Amino acid sequence: MSIPQEHDYIGLSEPLPSEKSSDKTTAAATPSSNVGRNGVFSLKETELRLGLPGSEAPERKGGIGIGIGIGVSLYGKDESDCVKSGAKRGFSDAINGAGKWGLSINGGSEVDLGKKGGLNGSSVKQEIQPVEERKNEAAANTAPASKAQVVGWPPIRSFRKNSLATNTPKKEDVGGKSGMGTGCLYVKVSMDGAPYLRKIDLKTYCSYTEISSALEKMFSCFTIGQCGQGLAAKEHISESHLMDLLHGSEYVLTYEDKDGDWMLVGDVPWE
Amino acid sequence: MAYSFPEEVLEHVFSFLSSDRDRNAVSLVCKSWYDIERWCRRRIFVGNCYAVSPEMVIRRFPELRAVEMKGKPHFADFNLVPEGWGAYAYPWIAAMAEAYPFLEEIKLKRMVVTDDTLELISKSCKNFKLLVLTSCEGFTTDGLASIAANCRHLRELDLRESEVEELSGHWLSHFPDSCTSLVSLNISCLGSEVSFSILERLVARSPNLRTLRLNRAVPLERLANLIRRAPQLVELGTGAYSAEIRSDTFSNLADAFSACKQLKALSGFWDVVPSYLPAMYSVCSGITSLNLSYAAIPSTDLVKLISQCQNLQRLWVMDYIEDSGLDVLAASCKDLQELRVFPSDPFGAEPNVSLTEQGLVSVSEGCPKLESVLYFCRQMSNAALIAIAKNRPNFIRFRLCIIDPQAPDYLTLEPLDAGFGAIVEKCKELRRLSMTGLLTDRVFKYIGSHAKKLEMLSIAFAGDSDLGLHHVLSGCDSLRKLEIRDCPFGDKALLANAAKLETMRSLWMSSCSVSFGACKLLAQKMPRLNVEVIDERGPPDSRPESCSVERVYVYRTVASRQRLDMPDFVWTLDEDSSLRYS
């Protein structure tokens, strides 16, 4: 049941048709003084104005038409601080100051963003910070900002995002990058005969030799028998013998690939 | 008023009316018809759980058997609705369990469903048959166990993409041995293992099983056994489609597939090892729906598979298919009606595959029945969109997502206004549209003038001013759902078109320029609209009224505007026009 309204859109300032409800609400006049005496709303507050008070609108990419100024959100106490800008909320603006965002920059698909209301809230809060600061950056930044992420963009459901994250990427065949740049890559490491396994973050290492020595250190407690739990073998092995064990042929590093095959570590280039 | 027809006859006539619209129309004829109709309505669809209250529904329709309901707005899928916003199923279920002891079907979408809710359903509704939970959350496998254990006549349990807290895989064992009524089981959203032997026994004793969608944890080696027990399957979702390459596994699988003469839909396909795809070839000619959207396989393998599926009507795939693969699709699958192409690396800076606008152009050229598209890509041009529109004026749903949301026409660097304009102009039956790219107010002018059948519109990072929003609200006669994020739309258009909002189901605006003052005005002016200000920065009246709100969700409702389950970041207008918040 839409009420036909004739109005000159650009010069919108005439009162909207009064309705029953407006009569009721006149009594409780709101501080914004939008309600006239006869119960009809006037829209002085939202009148179009060309020529904005204060700062310029930030750069826009190829926009056309008149920059009609509409109020922009600002967390400020004083009304005059509410800077009106006609810019569309540019994507580059939104991701400017990537450092302010509480989101992981490295393709946080493993982090289910925004599921926690707090996380969402904090990211939006940061976005709303003083517009002057943002606009200065916008003016300075002609190139598109770095790959920070905007909440909910691209519009992909969490279920799919999570599936992508754990999808084992097919290597060279599909070309190029293997899926998400995740923040860390934990893998399980087990040693034959050890009572429990360990997990290491592959991203913290730069080469096979690094991993090798780190694992040596990690598992040395089992062979020497210094483990707090005291579950390791009680044989008295000298340390040098032990190192021979680790370096030599007794222990080798292998991994199970996605096809389920056991592969020797070191064949594939580190990258 | 005396009628020549007894009530029973009218009831019988009405029983042939299945669409809600028809039934609603019938109920407006006269009081008598209203009364007869309401007593014999068995199915109801509530598009917004807050648009009406459970009591109202129960009062009007005392004998429902099937309820379908939706909760959170669509943008909740992309984490734009803060946690705890609402859409709790329990109050509805509690009321209905009491009022409808013969309730048989419940379908919920984007609602919070607890274990208590599930248990209540399972214990109150003796004849319960069908539960579909799409994108729901809040329950655990314990809740599923109650359903399994208590619903003696359960036919369908479908957990599409819901988030389930998985306490144990043994909930499946709660299906009693006497339960043989299963027709559809979809557990594809579950992460953890279920007991395979229990699953096999369940499948074996369900002769009516038509749909079986497994989860990723079911390994390929087990698939053959499962399928073998259910050769009557029409829809199958595999688990992880990978195994060590062994000829006996392969031939087992191939044999099992070839026994399934009725298979029409395939899905699942996590972790695909391409060498196993040919095991399915025997069923491909009958396949009408193929969901490979989790399958990371190269274009060549995809193409080999797809070219076997001459009768394909629906394809969901990842962009690994590339333009070349889409060319083959266009050439082989002339019955294709729906195509969805998902991004394999949505957060990567550079394209990882060669999928461009060309692929979509090819498919639009080659597939005369194509009517529904969801396409993620990294570049688009007006020329391509215009070509697509010319090729395919029969689009009903067109959703384009360019990874960079403000990407211009990559050839001319102009906005994509002309391209989308062509889409709405040529596709006169378009019901759903999502746009991305560099878009100015002009595209909205086109939409307002042409998109007369458009029911749902999604806009992001587009437009220059309120004029854009005004064009849409004043021009789109059939608009029901409008969702907007990060656009410079504000008060003027909203207030000027306030009445329009009552003809729609809902309007969502987040990160736009709608002031708190305007929200209050709108709520004051339109008593049948609930104007929810969703703002996590604290009470809106601690800021100047001209400050924009983070999000506003406006929906028509005949229920109270003060829903009792509002969290502390949602504000609505109280009856005495003061601000009310919890």
Those residues with Cβ within 8 angstroms of residue A271's Cβ, 6 or more apart along the chain or in another chain: none
Question: Using a CB-CB distance cutoff of 8 angstroms, which residues of chain A are in contact with residue B487?
Answer: 88-89
- CA gap B48, B73 in Å, rounded: 8
Contact yes or no for B188/B267 (Cβ under 8 A): yes
Most confident of A157-161, A233-237, A266-270: A157-161
Q: What is the pLDDT of residue A159?
A: 87
Question: Using a CB-CB distance cutoff of 8 angstroms, which residues of chain B are in contact with residue A48?
Answer: 492
* Stronger pLDDT, A265 or A5, i.e. the higher one: A265
Q: What is the pLDDT of residue A10?
A: 42
pLDDT band at B1 (very low <50, low <70, confident <90, very high): low
Q: Inspect the interface and report whether the beta carbons of A68 and B467 lie closer than 8 Å.
A: yes
pLDDT band at A93 (very low <50, low <70, confident <90, very high): very low
pLDDT at A28 over 80: no
Q: Inspect the interface and report whether the beta carbons of B549 and A3 lie closer than 8 Å.
A: no
- CA gap B579, B538 in Å, rounded: 13
Please give the full DSSP string across B54-77, using - where no structure is assigned. Answer: HHHHHHH-TT--EEEEE-S-GGGG
* Stronger pLDDT, A156 or A100, i.e. the higher one: A156
Mean pLDDT, residues A211-218: 72
Contact yes or no for B165/B135 (Cβ under 8 A): no
Place of tokens 């909002």: B501
The token pair at B138 is 């809040």
Q: What is the pLDDT of residue A251?
A: 63
> Phi and psi dihedrals of B458, rounded to 5?
-120, 125
pLDDT band at A73 (very low <50, low <70, confident <90, very high): very low
pLDDT band at A4 (very low <50, low <70, confident <90, very high): very low
Contact yes or no for B108/B134 (Cβ under 8 A): yes
The token pair at B423 is 């889409």
Q: What is the pLDDT of residue B561?
A: 87
Strand partners, B130: B105, B156
Over the range B551-561, which residues count as b (16 or more CB within 10 Å of their CB) and which as e? bbbbbbbebeb
pLDDT at B570 over 80: yes
Q: What is the pLDDT of residue B562?
A: 87
Q: Inspect the interface and report whether the beta carbons of A164 and B498 lie closer than 8 Å.
A: no
Q: What is the pLDDT of residue A151?
A: 87
Query: Which residue, B248, B179, B190, is CA-closest to B214?
Result: B190
Q: Inspect the interface and report whether the beta carbons of A151 and B353 lie closer than 8 Å.
A: no
Q: Would strands B211-213 and B265-267 be described as parallel, antiparallel, or unpaired? A: unpaired
Q: What is the pLDDT of residue A253?
A: 72
- CA gap A76, A95 in Å, rounded: 21
Is B7 an 8 Å CB contact of chain A?
no
Contact yes or no for B343/B357 (Cβ under 8 A): no
The token pair at B165 is 């807290």
Is B110 an 8 Å CB contact of chain A?
no
pLDDT at A137 over 60: no
pLDDT band at A163 (very low <50, low <70, confident <90, very high): confident
Between A and B, how many CB-CB pairs are < 8 A? 286
Q: What is the pLDDT of residue B260?
A: 96
Contact yes or no for B526/B499 (Cβ under 8 A): yes
Is B460 an 8 Å CB contact of chain A?
yes
Contact yes or no for B107/B128 (Cβ under 8 A): no
Q: What is the pLDDT of residue B424?
A: 97
Mean pLDDT, residues B352-362: 96
pLDDT band at B116 (very low <50, low <70, confident <90, very high): very high
Residues 332-351 of B with CB under 8 A from A: 342-351
Tell whether the torsion through CA atoms of B273, B274, B275 and B278 is positive or negative: positive
pLDDT at A183 over 60: no
HSE, CB side, 13 Å, CA atoms: give it for residue B435.
Answer: 33
- Three-state SS letters, chain A: CCCCCCCCCCCCCCCCCCCHHHHHHHCCCCCCCCECCCCCECCHHHCCCCCCCCCCCCCCCCCCCCCCCEECCCCCCCHHHCCEECCCCCHHHHCCCHHHCCCCCCCCCCCCCCCCHHHHHHHHHHHCCCHHHHHHHHHHCCCCCCCCCCCCCCCCCHHHHHHHHHCCCCCHHHCCCCCCCCCCCEEEECCCCCCCCEEEEHHHCCCHHHHHHHHHHHHHHHHHCCCCCCCCCCCCCCHHHHHHHHHCCCCCCEEECCCCCEEECCCCCCC
- CA gap B489, B476 in Å, rounded: 17
* Stronger pLDDT, B433 or A92, i.e. the higher one: B433
Q: What is the pLDDT of residue B356?
A: 96
pLDDT band at A214 (very low <50, low <70, confident <90, very high): confident
The token pair at B129 is 């048959």
Which residue does chain A place closest to B378, by CA atoms?
A154
Q: What is the pLDDT of residue A179?
A: 34
Among A161-170, B446-455, B464-473, the minimum mean pLDDT is found in A161-170
Query: Which residue, A123, A90, A91, A125, is CA-closest to A108?
Result: A123
Mean pLDDT, residues B95-114: 97
Give SS3 for B46.
strand
pLDDT at A43 over 90: no
pLDDT at A40 over 90: no
pLDDT at B146 over 60: yes
Mean pLDDT, residues A77-87: 38
- CA gap B138, B71 in Å, rounded: 13
- CA gap B325, B317 in Å, rounded: 11
Residues in chain A: 271
Is B41 an 8 Å CB contact of chain A?
no
pLDDT band at A42 (very low <50, low <70, confident <90, very high): very low
Place of tokens 């036919």: B155
- CA gap B313, B340 in Å, rounded: 12
pLDDT at A24 over 90: no
pLDDT at A105 over 70: no
pLDDT exceeding 90 applies to what percent of chain B?
Answer: 93
Mean pLDDT, residues A114-122: 37
First-to-last alpha carbon distance for chain B, in angstroms, is 50
Which runs of consecutive H residues, i.e. helices, occur in B259-342? 281-284, 299-306, 322-332
In terms of Cβ atoms closer than 10 Å to its own Cβ (0-12, 13-18, 19+), residue A186 is exposed
Tell whether the torsion through CA atoms of A165, A171, A176 and A182 is positive or negative: positive
Mean pLDDT, residues B441-448: 97
Is A155 an 8 Å CB contact of chain B?
yes
Q: What is the pLDDT of residue A122?
A: 38
The mean pLDDT value of chain A amounts to: 49
Mean pLDDT, residues B406-415: 96
Please give the full DSSP string across B494-543, using - where no structure is assigned. Answer: HHHTHHHHTTSSEEEEESSB-BHHHHHHHHHH-TTEEEEEE-TTS-GGGS
Give SS3 for B7.
helix
Q: What is the pLDDT of residue B474?
A: 97
Q: Inspect the interface and report whether the beta carbons of B546 and A25 lie closer than 8 Å.
A: no
pLDDT one-digit tens code per residue, B490-521: 999 999 999 999 999 999 999 999 999 999 99
Q: What is the pLDDT of residue B18?
A: 87
Predicted model pTM: 0.73
Place of tokens 């479908």: B158
Q: What is the pLDDT of residue B169?
A: 72
The token pair at B298 is 């190269």
Is B352 an 8 Å CB contact of chain A?
yes
* Stronger pLDDT, B122 or A42, i.e. the higher one: B122
Helices (runs of H) and strands (runs of E) counted in chain B: 21, 24
Query: Which residue, B87, B157, B84, B146, is CA-closest to B121?
Result: B146
In terms of Cβ atoms closer than 10 Å to its own Cβ (0-12, 13-18, 19+), residue A142 is exposed
Q: What is the pLDDT of residue A124?
A: 36
pLDDT band at A224 (very low <50, low <70, confident <90, very high): very low
pLDDT band at A266 (very low <50, low <70, confident <90, very high): confident
Is B219 an 8 Å CB contact of chain A?
no
Query: Which residue, B475, B410, B399, B400, is CA-closest to B441?
Result: B475
pLDDT one-digit tens code per residue, B58-79: 999 999 999 999 999 999 999 9
Q: What is the pLDDT of residue B577?
A: 53
Contact yes or no for A227/A221 (Cβ under 8 A): yes
Q: Where are the beta strands (DSSP E) in B205-276?
A: 211-213, 235-237, 265-267
The token pair at A9 is 């859109």
Mean pLDDT, residues B141-164: 95
Distance to chain B for A215, nearest Cα, Å: 28
Distance to chain A for B268, nearest Cα, Å: 11
Q: Where are the beta strands (DSSP E) in B105-250?
A: 105-109, 130-134, 137-140, 156-158, 163-165, 184-186, 211-213, 235-237
- CA gap B252, B225 in Å, rounded: 8
pLDDT at B8 over 60: yes
- CA gap B12, B308 in Å, rounded: 47
